[in-house]
Amino acid sequence: MDLILWRHAEAEVAAEGCDDLSRELTPKGERQAARMATWLDRHLPEGARVLVSPARRTEQTAQALGRKYKLRDELVPDSSVDDVLGLLKWHPETGPQGKGPVMLVGHQPYLGQIVARLLGIQETASSVRKGSVWWMRSRMREGQLQTVLLTVASPDLISHSWDDRS
């Protein structure tokens, strides 16, 4: 199974008394989301499931992709890595129960915690930059679950002119 983690793009700073879930993308965040969406659209398989935090900034990020998605309460900013892996039905010994690719559009720190846990990084979390994508694949080799990092893409390094060169 491929697991694609997409952190929401740059969002407004929360105003005093403002609900964190209602924060929107900044103009820079909108550009970041559009760049990553263009890249993802070229690489993401057609049948990929897209699961999105109900926070406004993550929904705006996912909307840039132009594909169907599901809002999931298990992906709110304060979710635990165990809750998120439970949503995916990802078991430590056997890996994911599903076969098709899944993309999560979510938040730090749980995205970085998922990266660290699945890749066996000693730190409790990795830093996942705003707007970036971490693409991992799980597989069984000689009876052992392996998670392989396929790519990390950042909107800062993707531009429309760069994409046009292929």
Per-residue pLDDT tens for 56-88? 999 999 999 999 999 999 999 999 999 999 998
Mind listing the pLDDT tens digit for each residue in 81-108? Answer: 999 999 988 876 677 887 889 999 999 9
pLDDT (0 to 100) of residue 159: 65
Q: What percent of the chain has pLDDT over 70?
A: 94
User: Are 81 and 114 in contact, with CB atoms under 8 Å apart?
Assistant: yes
Counted domains in the chain: 1
Q: What is the DSSP letter of 14?
A: P
Query: CATH no. for residue 76?
Result: 3.40.50.1240
Angle, CA 6 vertex, CA 159 and CA 149 arms, to 5°:
90
Residue 165 has pLDDT above 80, yes or no: no
User: Are 8 and 107 in contact, with CB atoms under 8 Å apart?
Assistant: yes
More confident residue, 150 or 90: 150
Distance, CA of 42 to CA of 122 (rounded, Å): 33
> What is the chain's Cα-based Rg?
16
pLDDT (0 to 100) of residue 3: 95
More confident residue, 143 or 101: 101
How many other C-beta atoms are found inside a 10 Å radius of the C-beta of residue 134?
Answer: 24
The SS3 of residue 48 is: coil
How many other C-beta atoms are found inside a 10 Å radius of the C-beta of residue 101?
Answer: 18
Mean pLDDT for 26-33 is: 96
Provide the residue range defining the domain that includes 26.
2-163
H helix runs in 6-144, sequence order: 27-43, 56-63, 81-87, 110-119
